[in-house]
Structure 1
């Protein structure tokens, strides 16, 4: 099912069991911020990106290593070298994604997706033979290459996935059109996907929404063109649909990820911006908040979730 109608989507979703697959990844991968700098093409539709003088590559590299250490405490985490010709490559989840189930929730051959990026500077990332070979030759995953078709589909930047239920929440923007959203839905074998327009100035759904281990969600209504869609998502995950303020959204609190059933990671700035109510709501959902300082990386217009590729 693919729908733009939240009422129809959630009427269907409420009948689905949380048996699509593991709710959190079994491993993660990163790409080092080598050559980290302002990418002018990406800046054209990313209002979160700092001016060129706001980039500190050395500090970004140190913070990225700390992120790697933090994640590796909980699950295997590999880090690929960066490339000065791809200054946005430290945000690999837009380019590569994985899946291991079909729409019925039955085990399916493991596969990795290669997304179609909007900007040419990011399209270079999809050509990386080392990352493709890691998935294809080392892990034995089948390839689903969407990078050569014409529709932008920036994978788990544009699509927030509830892996427990096989649900996709796909934000439409210049970085993912409706045809691209359908390609993501099909390639991941999802049971149902809700398509919605992002608010003007937003570029990825994962900046305004996070689904945490299938049992909670962080939602920033200001990032949705229609706030009723945000409210419907919050109601679906009630009592753990956590509505964020504009200040929390601006600090990247929705750009968070659960890589275990009991921890949610976000940047240090996001953690400090969390209200007492939001923090208490996460605790009630069974999550401890783990933070990593990423202010230098956030100059690139993304935060912690954007840095993490999931391996299912």
Structure 2
């Protein structure tokens, strides 16, 4: 099922058992912020991105290394080198995604990021080392920025795809098929938003962090919240701006977000996460966040 019909999706999703696959990744991969800087093209539709003067490449590299070290306590986490010609390639989950035995390569909207899809080392790692089949969407014309645009409930095989300049309906359909999902709900993001994963996180298939002001239609928020009640946590605009919606569960016991995001959480949101069985783990990433993304954006999941 691929639909914009909130009620039809909800009726279907309620009957999906958590037997589609593991709810969290088996391993993770990062791309180092080598040559880290402000990409003018990316900034054109990413209002979270800071001015060039706010970029600190040395601090970004140090924080990114600490992120790898912290994640490695939970699951195997590898890091590919960066490339100075790709200044915001630190967010690989937009370009490379995985499903069981498959590598999906997305098509980025901006040329500065389309270069990332051509990286032979990442493709060879998944193809030659892990033996994954490749689904290459990078050469077709429809933008589909993978798990930036498409937030996936891996336990139930459900997708939540926010449409913007970074992903159109055809791109959503291509990703739905590439990841082999049971059902995907399409909805419009608010005009100011570029990626779904800044305003929505599905945590280990049993809870959701939702930023209502990031959605064009409140009915989409209600439908998603109904899927994850009683653990649908609605975040405030201030929490969204601190990147609290850009979180990820890498185990069934904890949710990861940046230190900025964790500090921005309200007491109510903290209590709701605890009630859902999640401890909060955080890493300083303010230097990385200058590029308009946060912790979840940095993490490529390996299933």
- TM-score of Structure 1 vs Structure 2, range by shorter chain: over 0.9
Alpha-carbon shift at residue 234 of structure 1 (Å)? 1.2
Instruction: Report the alpha carbon displacement of residue 231 of structure 1 after superposing the two structures with TM.
Output: 1.8
Question: SS state of the match for residue 36, structure 1?
Answer: coil
Deviation at residue 276 of structure 1 after TM alignment? 0.4
Q: Secondary structure at the match of 1:271?
A: helix
Residue 290 of structure 1 corresponds to which residue in structure 2? 281
CA distance in 1, matches of 2:120, 2:226: 43
2:111 equivalent in structure 1: 120
Q: CA RMSD in A?
A: 0.5
Identify the residue that residue 257 of structure 2 maps to in structure 1: 266
Residue 306 of structure 1 aligns to a residue whose secondary structure is helix
Match of 1:197 among 182, 188, 198: 188
Comparing 226-235 and 34-43, the one that deviates more: 226-235
Give the alignment's TM-score, normalised by structure 2.
1.00
Helix, strand or coil at the partner of 1:297 = helix
Alignment partners' CA distance in 1, 2:280 and 2:6: 29
Structure 1: distance between partners of 2:47 and 2:247: 19
Cα distance in 2 between the residues matched to 1:17 and 1:272: 34
Q: Deviations over 1:35-65 (max 9, x none)?
A: 0000000000000000000100000000001
The aligned counterpart of 2:11 is 11
State the shift of 1:66 in Å.
0.7
The corresponding residue for 1:97 is 97
Indicate the SS of the match to 2:142.
coil
1:68 aligns with 68
Measure, in 2, the Cα distance between the counterparts of 1:132 and 1:246.
38
The question of 1:257 aligning with 2:248 is answered yes
Match of 2:205 among 200, 206, 214: 214
Length, aligned pairs only: 303
Distance 2:88 2:133 in 1: 25
Secondary structure in 2 matching 1:310: strand
The 2-side partners of 1:192 and 1:233 are apart by 13
Which structure 1 residue ranges, 4+ long, deviate > 2 Å from structure 2?
none
Q: Return the offset for 1:155.
A: 0.2
- Confirm whether residue 50 of structure 1 aligns to residue 50 of structure 2: yes
Equivalent residue in structure 2 for 1:188, among 169, 174, 179: 179
SS of equivalent to 1:50:
coil
1:24-173 aligned at under 5 Å gives the runs: 24-100=24-100, 110-173=101-164
1:275 corresponds to which of 260, 266, 270:
266
Q: CA deviation at 1:226?
A: 0.5
Structure 2: gaps (5+ residues): none
Structure 1: 5+ residue runs without aligned partners? 101-109
Aligned equivalents of 1:117, 1:183: Cα separation in 2: 13
Distance 2:7 2:274 in 1: 29
* 1: CA distance, partners of 2:137 / 2:259: 34
Q: Secondary structure at the match of 1:165?
A: coil
Distance 2:263 2:224 in 1: 25
How much has 1:227 moved relative to structure 2? 1.5
Verify: 1:311 aligned to 2:302, yes or no.
Answer: yes
Q: CA deviation at 1:201?
A: 1.1
Q: Distance in 2 between matches of 1:227 and 1:83?
A: 40
